[in-house]
Structure 1
Amino acid sequence: MQQTSTAASEPALAQPAPVRRLKSLDALRGFDMFWIAGGEEIFYVLAKTTGWAWAAFMAQQFTHVEWNGFRPYDCIFPLFLFMAGVSTPFAVGSRLERGVPKGELARKMITRGLILVLLGIIYNNGILVKTLSETRFGSVLGRIGLAGMCGQLIYLYFPNPKVQYAWFAGLLLAYWAMMKLIPVPGCGAGLLTIDCSLAGYIDRSIMPGRLYLKVHDPEGLFSTLPAIGTALLGIFSGQLLKSEGRTANRGQKTLWLVLGGLSCLVLGYSWGLVFPINKNLWTSSFVLVAGGWSVLMLALFYWIIDVKNVSGWAFFFTVIGMNSILIYIAGEFIDFEYAAKFFFEGILSFFAEPVRAVGAIVGLLAVKWAFLYILYTKKVFLRV
């Protein structure tokens, strides 16, 4: 699950970390990836082994809503895409200021997007070649790649913020209109079910291979259109944080982020009354709700780390955030569980079942973090 700052658009492996980085963004990216890497398993295991009501409640919050609705875990993926947008004004903007031609930047954006699509296909299907019908082409990384790429191209070729806002509003309104008004053969218009949504029908018609839910893919092509809006929300936030002049005060920037996040939530939950909040369909209301929470989380991390300069606690997450894509795909090729059992199984055998179960998850996370920390000390980072 996107997304780097100053070197975000240059494909490279094992390159030094950029000097200019938004510390809060690295920490927030690491916080997001912590849950993707297995942090949510702590609540699952606690709920299963203890039966504690609070653990069961938290475990439920770290599951996806089956169709309509929103839980905190539904924000994990869009937050990652949102942060890819936040980094854009720092990464792309600095290159524009140095006079790098737009054509060169566009080629790098497209290359990065296609690399992420390819990595997503490999993550879903492994490196062994499968038949076309067995291959799933939609993926989390693919959506980050395509939506992030389109958002960056809009930022590059439409630098006027008012035009960017028009793109944002136009994408969300157009998606709403198409989903509600265009009829689906055998179903009619406006049905937002797994079998009858326009997004599912278009993906079944044009996407090769298999869809994740057979008749629908939550990372399909058509629902990538509103996902561009998620990336644009990140770009708007990044532009604010990078801005100078009257908005140079960091405290004021934090306030603007909070107001923007709250506005998105009000609009999103209101829109959800007529266009349900749905992650699988990536509805326009979902873009605003997930985006609103993402902006508020960015505001919190920015205020604590960059405004108040209280950053020591964030080092744990920064180590993860600096190699977020690597740890996302590494589990498919590295047996972290074997290493965790080797180091911790003997010690945990002396404890009762709940402690053993939670300790196993903590041990697995510790092994993953140690792996990333070694790479961090060696300044080895996977940049796409």
Structure 2
Amino acid sequence: MQNNRLYSVDVMRGLTLFLMLFVNDLYMPGVPQWLGHTEASYDGMGLADWVFPGFLFMVGLAVPFAVSSRRKKGESDGAIARHVVLRTASLLFIGILILNVGQLNSELSGIDRSWWALAMYVAVFLIWNRYSQGGRWRYGVIALKVLGVAILTWLLVIFRAGEAGSERWLTTGWWGILGLIGWGYFVAALGYLLVGNRLWACMLLWLLFIALNIADQLGLLGFFDVLRPVLGVVIGGNVPSMVLAGLVCALLLHRYGGTPWWQVGIVAALGLACLAAGFLLREWFILSKIYGTPSWAMVCNGISMVVFALLFATADVFGYRRWANLFTLAGKNSLTTYLAPDVIYYLCWGFSIPLFIYKQAESPWLAIGGSLLWATAMIYFAYLLTRISIRLKL
């Protein structure tokens, strides 16, 4: 695949990040149900239930472009596979750290939860920051990374969850948002290295994980239970199927390259087909993000494809781009944009700073407006961090 970067890729990735920041900040009583997260057993979905699948879709869509870029730099497929494994491991590890913040027992650990979280984020930024290569700063960069490892090691040593007498350490749980991204990326990236640009093979891989998702929901995969503590996300099929949907769309864009309206039409048509499949599957499985049902996955895939087709037509075919500058800032700097706001949250909680005065259950529109402003401010905050060379890169 040619590494012709599509503007719409950054736009949609940034749009989903903006909405993730918005709905996560908005997660409180009193706001309209259609904006929030739907209860597990409720057959339906709101905006918050599509946002993360939309980002997963973009993870898959970006895979062929990223692989092509690395090949152009002279990397072998073996080197790219090693990068995929290392990146996946990093996402899983950071995801577990974030997931366990809420489990920390401050008394047993000897540190306030907010301060443990702040120190953890500082360590993550020190270790995984993209530093300038070589030059006189080489040993300074090494020192900063060593400092990050030392801080993280200390935090892991003192971490305790549970209660006295039944203490426990870190748990994988559901792996956290970054962990889910990691597993989905792992399947899609290695799958693409295996099948290449063969669209039919990629579609078969996608169908395989849709089938796994259906079989898992029907309780037919009990013989895999021994593997679930580690590979449960892969076995369940739900998350990988949404990332693979993006990969399929990327290969469709490649196949119909040079005919942009065919590209728009084929992605939009596939999106409508996914929506139809999702509502058909709803006859047997409710729409549920928490349960990870195949009907929910297919409806989300359909929405993602239709939205991307519209953004592709607007930004790459017609060239209307200035309206999306905010989203492209986030899309080009996704990991920093996602994690940097947590630093502000924990600083405010640790110092009891009353920053979130707009969170009023009796004034839902004030809460909505405040969360929109928060999401916008956090994108610019992450951008300012990049201007002083603070930018996460896995």
Task: Give the TM-score range, shorter chain.
Answer: 0.7 to 0.9
Residue 42 of structure 1 and its aligned partner are, at CA, apart by: 6.2
Query: Where do residues 182-331 of structure 1 align in structure 2 (5 Å cutoff)?
Result: 182=220, 202=225, 206-207=228-229, 221=233, 224-243=236-255, 247-331=257-341
Q: Deviations over 1:67-122 (max 9, x none)?
A: 35332321111111110111011111343466532111100011111110011012
CA contact (8 A) 1:223 1:282 kept: no
- SS at the partner of 2:233? coil
- Which residue is equivalent to 2:214? 176
Q: 1:332 to 1:172 in 2, by over 3 A?
A: same
Aligned-residue CA RMSD (Å): 3.5
Structure 1 residues 309 and 44, CA gap change in structure 2 (3 angstroms): farther
Higher helix share: 2
Matched, 1:66 2:11: no
| Residues 270-323 of structure 1: per-residue CA shift (max 9 Å, x gap) | 122123333223233332211111111111111111111111110011112222
Inter-partner Cα distance in structure 2 for 1:294 and 1:358: 23
Q: Could you tell me the TM-score, scaled by structure 1's length?
A: 0.72
Q: TM-score, normalised by structure 2?
A: 0.71
Equivalent-residue separation in structure 2 for 1:287 and 1:357 (angstroms): 29
Change (3 A) 1:357 1:69: closer
The AA in structure 2 aligned to 1:166 is L
**Distance change >3 Å, CA 35–CA 220, structure 1 → 2:** farther
Contact 2:22 2:372 in 1 (8 A): no
1:1-384 correspondence to structure 2 within 5 Å: 21-38=5-22, 48=30, 56=32, 59-71=33-45, 72-96=47-71, 100-126=75-101, 127=120, 128-129=155-156, 130-131=159-160, 133=168, 135-137=170-172, 138-159=175-196, 160-180=198-218, 182=220, 202=225, 206-207=228-229, 221=233, 224-243=236-255, 247-335=257-345, 338=348, 360-377=370-387, 381-384=391-394
- Give the share of equivalent positions with the same residue, in percent: 24
CA distance change for structure 1 residues 177 and 305 in 2, over 3 Å: closer, same or farther? same
SS in 2 for 1:382: coil
Matched positions, count: 324
Please tell me whether the aligned partners of residues 336 and 367 of structure 1 are also in contact (alpha carbons under 8 angstroms).
no
Gaps of 5+ in 1: 1-5, 7-18, 49-54, 185-197, 209-218
Distance 1:66 1:303 in 2: 35
User: Partners in 2 of 1:85 and 1:183 — Cα distance?
Assistant: 25
Give, as a single letter, the amino acid of the residue that structure 2 aligns with 1:64. Answer: T
- Partner SS for 2:342: coil
Contact 1:67 1:279 (C-alpha < 8 Å) held by counterparts: no
